[in-house]
Amino acid sequence: MKHYLLPEGGKFYKANMHLHTTVSDGCYTPEDIKKIYMDLGYSILAYTDHEVIVPHTDLTDENFLALTGYEITIWESGSHIDRKVFHLNLIAKEAENNVSSSFRLVDVDQDRQYVTEEMMKYNHPRKYSSECVNEIIESAKKEGFLVSLNHPVWSTQNYTDYADLKGLWATEVYNSASNLGGAIENTQAFEDLVRLHEPVFPLAVDDTHYPFHVGHGWIMVKAHSLDYPTVISALEKGDFYASTGPEIKELYLEEGILHIKTSEAAGIYVTTEKIKRWSAMGTEEEPVTEASFNVSDYVQRTLAGTTNKQAYIRVTVKDFKGEYAYSRAYFLDELAASV
């Protein structure tokens, strides 16, 4: 029997989960950015302007979904150039949710006109510490938000900054604005957190501020319909993959065999918590588009207690342009029933 890691049913919807508009420091209006992305084949945008939540439900239609969210900043003390920073995106699980106890009024002139009296009831203290961030994550989850860790490389963070975080929904593995600015985002924070058995998901995003940020990183969400509750449910479950180019078309287990179907690729790789890899390689003349790997022995040995109980597998696809796609990590409890 097939056990689908990416759902069998539904449709893939292309999404950018991090962007800024003229509500804060972006150059496009919310309406303009919708058109720009729809022309590139996107169906979902998460509006994540700085420090204020502004729902754009009026932009949602049968072909487009506007997700409500915002980005908050927690600076380390010290001089500006030397400071580390946490940037978190909070994505509302309900479209009209525009109040968060994590709100703090900051000096961003563009935002001021959007601050409501309800928001002003809150003035959450922000301290650069895992304790403060965990408090924000916990309260945000109770208030109906998914929380992601943004561009840890751009934020000059390392393991000691994020290792104690609990309850994150996702972290960025690619950020167009960061990468084009020279701070090359990678999978390190994502990999570190899943090795700690934190079930975070990978995001490739644009963090759009300017035209040259558009269309470089996205996620492909597998859902049965393009409506807010259905898409949020898919995001919560991790029914998506991150990409800067390649496609992951199918991903399932059957009798201990992991089956993967992709767009034309230079390589398909399976990584575990110990970085042991199975791989299938192609050439430009004969690209690889599918691969099957027997993971039964690996899972059975883990169940028997001879390897890490926090075991997982995840898939990476590389194309001939050097672009990547990343699945989430699938932990032992999801794999055991299918081997």
Give the total number of structural domains in the chain. 2
- Residues 210, 298 share a domain: no
The answer on 234 and 257 residing in a single domain is no
* Domain end point (choices 215, 243, 271): 243
- Identify whether 1 is part of a domain: no
Last residue of a domain, one of 220, 243, 266: 243
**d(C-alpha 140, C-alpha 74), whole Å:** 15
Region 268-284: mean pLDDT is 90
Residues 239, 139, single domain; the answer is yes
Q: Across residues 278-301, what is the average pLDDT?
A: 93
- Does residue 237 sit in the same domain as residue 262? no
Tell me, yes or no, whether 100 and 180 share the same domain.
yes
Same domain, 289 and 212: no
What pLDDT score was predicted for residue 77? 80
Please tell me the distance from the alpha carbon of residue 170 to that of residue 168, in angstroms, as a whole number.
6
Would residue 86 count as lying in a domain?
yes
Q: Kindly tell me if the per-residue pLDDT of 80 is higher than 70.
A: no
Bigger pLDDT: 261 or 115? 261
Q: Is residue 4 situated within a structural domain? A: no
Q: Do 276 and 222 share a structural domain?
A: no
Domain encompassing residue 112: 9-243
User: Based on the domain organization, do 43 and 183 belong to the same domain?
Assistant: yes
DSSP 7-37: -SSSEEEEEE--B--TTTT-SS-HHHHHHHH
- The CATH code of the domain that includes 193 is 3.20.20.140
Tell me what pLDDT residue 81 has.
64
**48 and 143 belong to one structural domain:** yes
Is the predicted pLDDT of residue 328 greater than 80, yes or no? Answer: yes
pLDDT 10s digits, 9-30 = 999 999 999 999 999 999 999 9
> Residue 3: inside a domain, yes or no?
no
Dist. CA 103–CA 190, nearest whole Å: 26
Domain boundary among the residues 243, 276, 305 is at 243
Concatenate the DSSP letters of all residues of 57-120 into one string: GGG-BTTBEEEEEEEEEEEPSS-GGG--EEEEEEEESSTT----TT----S-GGGGGG--TTGG
The whole-number pLDDT of residue 254 equals: 94
pLDDT category, 177, cuts 50, 70, 90?
very high
303 occurs within a structural domain: yes
Same domain, 314 and 234: no
Which of the residue ranges 110-119, 139-148, 249-258 would you say has the lowest mean pLDDT?
Answer: 110-119
Looking at mean pLDDT, say which of 243-247, 277-281, 300-304 comes out highest: 243-247
Q: Using CA atoms, how far apart are residues 167 and 171, in angstroms rounded to an integer? A: 11
Residue 2 lies in a domain: no
Mean pLDDT of the chain: 93
Spatial contact of 31 and 61, defined as CB atoms under 8 Å apart: no
- For 91-140, what is each residue's pLDDT tens digit? 999 999 998 999 887 765 666 788 888 888 888 889 999 999 999 999 99
Q: Which residue bears the tokens 């201990």?
A: 256
Three-class secondary structure of residue 213 per DSSP? helix
What is the value of pTM for the model shown? 0.96
124 and 255 housed in the same domain: no
Phi, psi values for residue 289, rounded to 5°: -125, -5
Whether 18 and 132 map to the same domain: the answer is yes
pLDDT at 10: 97
- pLDDT of 105 reads 78
